[in-house]
A and B are shown apart, each in its own frame.
Chain A
């Protein structure tokens, strides 16, 4: 069998010319296509990076001079007084807004973690066939609800509900925004947590099953510990989402500068402040630049959270 193959090869080689091994240098359609795809993918990747750097440069340029020169960082981070429009003595303290964002995000996680973990466990470990597929589609659908719709729900449904249920004067509070944000973050957290559970190989489940473990025991003793990094990553992504969310919290928090004592207090979020005030400031004014400084601050925080999430999720792949 070997001889005829060699002969054909020799035949083609002699046909292509004197070099004998010209086929090694020949440009074929497949080769060209491969190169073209490589270039396209490279351009796509590079442009994404350029956009991100561009955005960062823009934000920092607008806020930078102010942030390093005029701004009193001690006051910025520790004062709850945000009075950018004061005529005599404008103060730029974001502590109240940090507290607002943190309290809303914290409550959102308290709402979202049990929901999303429960849903992910059910979808990944217990649901089968059509139920499973239907639930997955449903979760995707929930994740696609725009945040303004969630804000609307907070404003028109949750607000009167909270006033009625708890007999409080206002319903646009930490409680309202926390629940709204929690429900908003839950679907994406569910789908990432479900991926993490699915990444646990079935042979672990089978081995535990052979030991006589029930399905619940398998989930809690084998699957969850094995998926813990991915699950933590899901939670951190939810936290990042909470920090960055603007519209829904703007609508549901009450937008009042205030360090909250209880979940029935109105607060204001960092993002919402930028969204609400940027349009009313003169471009280049101190107020304008202070808002951009908040932007830089948010950028850094979300970057750190996402980086942490990424490193943790990467941890699962390796281990």
Chain B
């Protein structure tokens, strides 16, 4: 855990950083994670993770299977609540509010969009999939809903393909389309934070690139947490990247630093270079 303390320290711009899009003057923290521990039925899945995720950055998380990445995302939007098997300790502050103690988790979740590894088109029409979250917020006006649905589907690069079949079941779209539907649905929440968990696992390379372009556009408006099993994807998109390994957060740093070998732990370079994992 010594190296971890060290990795958190370099808060000051290192000068090396070439990520021009990062605006250091308003690097306020959207999420602050303190001493997060996650275990399932007593078996530890994530240990002593402390990190900050800044507003309007893309925060990448890389790491091999079983490193606790998905568990980390689940803890952030309190998916542990109905899973008695999952124990979480530590603090996660969202805009400074402790999410572990807040009363209305639904309000928290409605601000955080989630995209799962395998696309989940809900068994309702494409339109209803995207309109569900606005409806939960109480929007009933058809014209408003139409506008939201079209805007979100367009942003998710799906509108042209589905505009003539908005009434088909969302679960009948192709895998790649369903994944973009999931993204449209997440955007319909008008989220402040978007968490993506290995979104490209069931998607072809062309769709992956289209989604990546969308994420690049979104980075100016929302905070994105991108869990990915493709280290090059983290390099393409993430401003900063964390490396999780077997339940430990081994490294956190500017993505450029990580990929240029400027690391505190040899295992990070090894993983990025593809020498294990």
Contact with B along A186-228 (1 / 0, CB 8 A): 0000000000000000011011111111110100011001100
Closest Cβ–Cβ distance, residue A259 to chain B (whole Å): 44
Verify B110–A204 contact, CB threshold 8 A: no
A78 adjacent to chain B (CB < 8 Å): no
Verify A212–B79 contact, CB threshold 8 A: no
B21 adjacent to chain A (CB < 8 Å): no
**15 A-B residue pairs with CB within 8 Å:** A129-B84, A206-B79, A207-B185, A208-B122, A209-B82, A209-B109, A210-B79, A210-B109, A210-B113, A211-B189, A212-B108, A212-B111, A212-B136, A215-B82, A225-B123
Return the contact of A211 from the options B82, B107, B109, B123 (Cβ within 8 A). Answer: B109
Q: Categorize the interface residue count of chain B.
A: 20 to 34
Contact with A along B120-148 (1 / 0, CB 8 A): 10111000000011011000000000000
A129: B residues at CB distance < 8 A: 84
Verify A207–B122 contact, CB threshold 8 A: yes
A214: B residues at CB distance < 8 A: 106
Contact with B along A220-242 (1 / 0, CB 8 A): 01100110000000000000000
Closest Cβ–Cβ distance, residue B239 to chain A (whole Å): 24
Chain B contacts to A: CB under 8 angstroms: 77, 79, 82, 84, 106-114, 116, 118, 120, 122-124, 132-133, 135-136, 182, 185-186, 189
Verify B109–A212 contact, CB threshold 8 A: yes
Closest Cβ–Cβ distance, residue B188 to chain A (whole Å): 8
Q: Report how far A221 CA is from B125 CA in the complex, Å.
A: 12
A206 in contact with B116 given A211-B185, A211-B189 (CB within 8 Å)? yes
Q: Report how far A111 CA is from B84 CA in the complex, Å.
A: 35
Q: Report how far A225 CA is from B110 CA in the complex, Å.
A: 22
A210-B112, A211-B132 known; 9 other A-B pairs, CB under 8 Å?
A128-B84, A203-B116, A210-B113, A211-B189, A212-B107, A212-B108, A212-B136, A222-B123, A319-B123
Q: Report how far A213 CA is from B129 CA in the complex, Å.
A: 13
Closest Cβ–Cβ distance, residue B185 to chain A (whole Å): 7
Verify A211–B133 contact, CB threshold 8 A: yes
Verify A226–B110 contact, CB threshold 8 A: no
Q: Report how far A226 CA is from B109 CA in the complex, Å.
A: 23
Contact with B along A87-119 (1 / 0, CB 8 A): 000000000000000000000000000000000
Chain A residue with Cβ nearest B135: A221
Q: Report how far A226 CA is from B110 CA in the complex, Å.
A: 22
Verify A221–B132 contact, CB threshold 8 A: yes
Verify B136–A211 contact, CB threshold 8 A: yes
A206: B residues at CB distance < 8 A: 79, 116, 120
Q: Report how far A208 CA is from B79 CA in the complex, Å.
A: 11
Q: Report how far A213 CA is from B113 CA in the complex, Å.
A: 12
Verify B110–A212 contact, CB threshold 8 A: yes
Verify A204–B106 contact, CB threshold 8 A: no
Q: Report how far A215 CA is from B135 CA in the complex, Å.
A: 15
Verify B189–A226 contact, CB threshold 8 A: no
Interface pairs A-B: 10 shortest CB-CB: A212-B110, A210-B114, A212-B109, A207-B120, A226-B123, A211-B133, A212-B106, A203-B120, A214-B106, A213-B136
B185: A residues at CB distance < 8 A: 207, 211
A212: B residues at CB distance < 8 A: 106-111, 133, 136, 189
Chain B residue with Cβ nearest A205: B82
Closest Cβ–Cβ distance, residue B114 to chain A (whole Å): 4
A225: B residues at CB distance < 8 A: 123-124
A207: B residues at CB distance < 8 A: 116, 120, 122, 182, 185
Q: Report how far A206 CA is from B109 CA in the complex, Å.
A: 11
Closest Cβ–Cβ distance, residue B83 to chain A (whole Å): 10
Of A208, A210, A217, A226, most B-chain CB atoms within 10 Å = A210
Closest Cβ–Cβ distance, residue B180 to chain A (whole Å): 14
Closest Cβ–Cβ distance, residue B52 to chain A (whole Å): 23
Chain A residue with Cβ nearest B113: A210
Return the contact of A203 from the options B109, B118, B135 (Cβ within 8 A). Answer: B118
A211 in contact with B110 given A128-B84, A204-B122, A217-B136 (CB within 8 Å)? yes
Chain B residue with Cβ nearest A228: B123
Verify A208–B123 contact, CB threshold 8 A: no
B132: A residues at CB distance < 8 A: 208, 211, 213, 221
Q: Report how far A210 CA is from B114 CA in the complex, Å.
A: 6
Verify A209–B79 contact, CB threshold 8 A: yes
B116: A residues at CB distance < 8 A: 203, 206-207, 210
Return the contact of B120 from the options A128, A204, A319 (Cβ within 8 A). Answer: A204
A128: B residues at CB distance < 8 A: 84
Q: Report how far A212 CA is from B104 CA in the complex, Å.
A: 10
Of A128, A206, A217, most B-chain CB atoms within 10 Å = A206
B110: A residues at CB distance < 8 A: 211-212
A203: B residues at CB distance < 8 A: 116, 118, 120
Q: Report how far A206 CA is from B79 CA in the complex, Å.
A: 8
B111: A residues at CB distance < 8 A: 212
Closest Cβ–Cβ distance, residue B148 to chain A (whole Å): 13
B113: A residues at CB distance < 8 A: 210
Closest Cβ–Cβ distance, residue A14 to chain B (whole Å): 46
Closest Cβ–Cβ distance, residue A174 to chain B (whole Å): 39
Verify A210–B77 contact, CB threshold 8 A: yes
Of B84, B109, B118, most A-chain CB atoms within 10 Å = B109
Q: Report how far A129 CA is from B118 CA in the complex, Å.
A: 28
Closest Cβ–Cβ distance, residue A181 to chain B (whole Å): 33
Closest Cβ–Cβ distance, residue A227 to chain B (whole Å): 9
